[in-house]
């Protein structure tokens, strides 16, 4: 519904940005869209006359729009793929990535689920097609409130950047388990897991709430790490990823100033307040409790 509304709004946005003297067009990842809109609002408020149009639509769409020359910046929650880099080379473009922050993909469990420590190998056997881990008792402890003992695998729709990232890190080139519930949006994953004792799901750290628990994930040969802002920033958590902004070539003028501002203290504090991890340690003016943002 919202998308249709957004589609109706789009020509309007286009018209207003053409009229404004200075404008920056941004499109891409839905993971980043909330924080990108907060950045745009704060920055254009600071610099009157500059309009910044931010659209979601997914990492793939943002990158495609950047390669078509329709937007100045593509937001992406995954790196550009081989095919996309190839297309850029054919068109004589030089996509350049800028790290705008970090996000941890947390593995969410129902609060009643005692199996809070998982290795990457176990995650793989849960999520991969025909994987061997199908029952919670295989982890040692049956889950109260889950009489069927079945692991209910919750995933994302197949064009989400989070889906692609989780697959790359956990499954490599393997495919997701057939029959996994593919939820539309990070929020829905967390909601479903909070109501389903048998379920396991993954979503950005920023979507955590007190109705779910985050699993402690162990990389091979390491102790397990529970995701938080610090372990996402340092990369200590195995499923932490950079949030990227792609430009065509070295940014100049307003676009360079904007990206520098995002990577500066002001931009990084906004990112931190939205529940993501800054690219370096920042001291924010108003260090209030971090809201769980959706």
Partner 1 sequence: MSDRTSPFARDTTLHGDCDRRDAAWYIDKGVEWLLFLGGISAILFIIGIFAFITHEGMGFITTRFDAGEFFTTQYWTPSDEYDPEYGILAMLAGTASVTGLAMLTAIPFSLGAAIYIGEFAGERAREALKILVELLAAIPSVVWGFIGLSVMNPLLIALFDIPVGLNIVNAGILLGLMATPIMTSIAEDALKAVPDRYREAAEAMGATRWQVIYKVVLPAARNGLLGAVLLGVGRAFGETMVVLMATGHAINIPDSPFDAVRALTATIAAELGETTAGSDHWGALFTIGILLFVITFLINLSADLIVRGIRGK
Tokens of 181: 């519930």
Question: Is the Cβ of residue 196 or residue 226 nearer to partner 1 in the bound state?
Answer: 196
Query: CB neighbours of 55 closer than 8 A, spacing ≥ 6?
Result: 6, 10, 26, 27, 28, 33, 71
CA pair distance 148, 135, nearest whole angstrom:
8
Residue 74, beta-bridge partner list = 27, 246
86, 150, 222, 260: which one contacts partner 1 (CB under 8 A)? Answer: 150
CB of 157 to partner 1, least distance (A): 5
Pairing mode of beta strands 240-248, 95-109: antiparallel
Q: Are 99 and 60 in contact (CB under 8 A)?
A: no
- Computed from CA positions of residues 90, 93, 99, 103, in that sequence, does the dihedral angle turn out positive or negative? negative
Work out whether 16 is an interface residue with partner 1 (CB under 8 A). Answer: no
Residue 183 touching partner 1 (CB under 8 A): yes
Give least dist CB 205 to partner 1, A: 21
Q: Is 199 in the site for partner 1 (CB under 8 A)?
A: yes
Neighbouring C-beta atoms of residue 7, cutoff 10 Å: 9
- 190 binds partner 1, rule: CB under 8 A: no
Task: Give the residue, chosen from 50, 152, 259, 271, that forms a contact with partner 1 under the rule CB under 8 A.
Answer: 152
Q: Is 163 in the site for partner 1 (CB under 8 A)?
A: yes
Show contacts with partner 1 in window 53-92 (CB under 8 A). 57-58, 60-61, 64, 81-83
Is the Cβ–Cβ distance between 151 and 250 less than 8 Å? no
Which parts of 143-265 are beta strand (E)? Answer: 152-156, 181-183, 199-204, 213-214, 216-218, 240-248
Contacts with partner 1, 17-56, as mask; x by CB under 8 A: -------------x--------------------------
Stretches 31-39, 118-126, 140-148, 262-270: which one binds partner 1 (CB under 8 A)?
140-148
* Total residues in contact with partner 1, by rule CB under 8 A: 38
- What residues make contact with partner 1 under the rule CB under 8 A? 1, 3, 30, 57-58, 60-61, 64, 81-83, 146-148, 150, 152, 157-160, 163-164, 173, 175-176, 178-184, 192, 195-199
């Amino acid at each position: 519904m919202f998308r249709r509304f957004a589609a109706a709004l789009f020509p309007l946005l286009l018209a207003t940005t053409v009229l404004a003297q200075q404008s920056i067009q941004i499109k891409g990842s839905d993971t980043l869209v909330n924080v990108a809109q907060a950045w745009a609002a704060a920055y254009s408020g600071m610099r009157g006359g500059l309009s910044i149009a931010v659209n979601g639509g997914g990492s793939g769409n943002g990158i495609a729009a950047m390669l078509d020359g329709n937007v100045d910046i593509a937001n992406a929650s995954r790196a550009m793929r081989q095919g996309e880099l190839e297309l850029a080379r054919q068109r004589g473009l030089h996509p350049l990535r800028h790290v705008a922050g970090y996000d941890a993909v947390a593995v969410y469990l129902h609060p009643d689920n005692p199996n809070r420590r998982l290795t990457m190998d176990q995650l793989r056997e849960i999520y991969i097609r025909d994987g061997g881990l199908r029952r919670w008792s295989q982890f040692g402890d049956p889950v109260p409130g889950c009489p069927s003992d079945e692991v209910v695998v919750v995933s994302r729709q197949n064009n989400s950047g989070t889906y692609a990232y989780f697959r790359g890190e956990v499954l490599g080139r393997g495919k997701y388990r057939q029959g996994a519930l593919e939820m539309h949006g990070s929020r829905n994953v967390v909601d479903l897991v909070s109501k389903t004792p048998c379920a396991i799901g993954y979503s950005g750290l920023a979507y955590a709430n007190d109705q779910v628990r985050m699993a402690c994930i162990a990389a091979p040969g390491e102790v397990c790490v529970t995701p938080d802002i610090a372990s996402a920033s340092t990369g200590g958590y195995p499923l932490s990823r950079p949030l990227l902004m792609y430009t065509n070539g070295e940014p100049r003028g307003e676009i360079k100033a904007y990206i520098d501002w995002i990577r500066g203290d002001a931009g990084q504090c906004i990112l931190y307040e939205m529940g993501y991890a800054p690219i370096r340690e920042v001291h924010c003016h108003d260090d209030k409790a971090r809201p769980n943002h959706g």
